[in-house]
Structure 1
Amino acid sequence: MYAILIDRNKQYKIRCGEIIRLEKNKNGYRKKIIFNTIILFSNNGNIQLGQPILNNILIEGCIKNHGRNKKIKIIKFNRRKHYKKTQGHRQHYTDISINNIIIK
């Protein structure tokens, strides 16, 4: 059994019991979170496809961790122009444990 959900215009394939990493969510640690924008649900080969979303399925999860990814370096360089610019970036993330897929 799996589902595909949309969170902030990104799609994630999830299963029960998994831990998924999403972009930072402002809710606190160990708070419950419910996703209701499910676009596909599969159970034992039976596939339900939303047009655009499924209204009878909810996904329940719990926030496990907040953090930041490894730093990446961005380098812009033009040869023979005496131009070099270096920049770094660390993306914030939230780990969410999927507890339950609720079918109404």
Structure 2
Amino acid sequence: MYAVIKTGGKQYRVQPGDLLVVEKLDGEPGANVAFGDVLMLGDGETVTLGAPIVDGASVSATLIETRKGEKVKIFKKIRRQGYRRTKGHRQHESVLRVTSIAGAGKTDKWDGTVDLTTKAMLDARARNLKHVITTLEGVAAPVAAPAKAKAAPKAAAPAAATEEAPAKKAAAPKKTAEPKAEAAPKAAPKKAAAKKSDDAAE
């Protein structure tokens, strides 16, 4: 069974046992929180839509902690004016554990199968950091490949084998460069030839 609830101006789809991070709510850790603004209920193929909320439906949760979220940086600049301003902001937020959903004549409760024993695990699940969750649950992390062992030094070849090895072929003598033939004289430029022919005609 699942429900869509509204809190802090946002909508969330929740199920019993879900860890939910919402805008800051009043209360101490361990306090029970009830949400009456249920916009939709779903149970398998049966879906109940609210107009705007589902009558008689509610979602119960337990407040686990109130904390500050991730830092958001605000940077302002006006070019060529020497104006630069940097500011940081951390929004207050509450972490909840959804315990039950009631509505449409049914109640679905969390069976408590997920055990969050450490704050680190709680934080990782709230932020959906799967690699951290895997490590904290004790699941074996991928083992790094073992370093390659150094190659053993090659054994020296027996003396008899070296003696029987054929001698290298003698290098062929280098060819001597032959003297280049003298280049033929270049033909006279066409302009000069044309000028000579004009002079002869005169």
TM-score range, shorter chain: over 0.9
Matched with 1:98 is: 98
Could you list the runs of 4 or more consecutive aligned residues of structure 1 that deviate by over 2 angstroms after TM superposition?
none
Match in the other structure for 1:72: 72
Bigger fraction of residues in strand: 1
Query: What residue is the counterpart of 1:2 in the other structure?
Result: 2
Residue identity over aligned pairs, in percent, reads 27
CA distance in 1, matches of 2:9, 2:21: 15
Query: Over alpha carbons, which structure has the higher Rg?
Result: 2
Please tell me the residue identity of whatever aligns with 2:23: E
Match of 1:27, SS?
coil
Are 1:49 and 2:49 counterparts? yes
**Mapping of residues 52-63 of structure 1, within 5 Å:** 52-63=52-63
- How far apart are the structure 2 equivalents of 1:53 and 1:91? 28
Report the structure, 1 or 2, having the larger helix content.
2
Runs of 5+ unmatched residues, structure 2? 106-202
2 CA distance for matches of 1:45 and 1:85?
Answer: 53
Q: Which amino acid aligns with 2:50?
A: G
**Structure 1 equivalent of residue 150 of structure 2:** none
- TM-score scaled by structure 2? 0.50
In the alignment, the residues of structure 2 paired with residue 84 and residue 76 of structure 1 have an alpha-carbon distance, to the nearest angstrom, of 6
Once residues 55 and 42 of structure 1 are traced to their aligned partners in structure 2, the CA distance between those partners, rounded to angstroms, is: 14
**TM-score, scaled to structure 1:** 0.94
CA separation in 2, counterparts of 1:12 and 1:77?
A: 36
The count of residues paired between Structure 1 and Structure 2 equals: 104
RCO higher in structure (CA 8 A, sep ≥6)? 1
8 Å Cα contact 2:61-2:96 kept in structure 1 = yes
Structure 1 residues 42-51 or 3-12, which shifts more?
A: 3-12
More displaced stretch, 66-75 vs 45-54? 66-75
Does structure 1 retain, via aligned residues, the 8 Å contact 2:8–2:22?
Answer: no
The offset of 1:8, in angstroms, is: 2.6
Within 2, Cα distance between the matches of 1:85 and 1:58? 45
Q: Report if aligned partners of 2:35, 2:59 keep a CA contact under 8 Å in 1.
A: yes
Matched to 2:97, the amino acid is S
Instruction: Return the offset for 1:56.
Output: 2.0
What is residue 16 of structure 1 aligned with on the other side? 16
**Deviation per CA, 1:12-63, whole angstroms, max 9, x where unpaired?**
1111100100011111110011111001111011000000101121111100
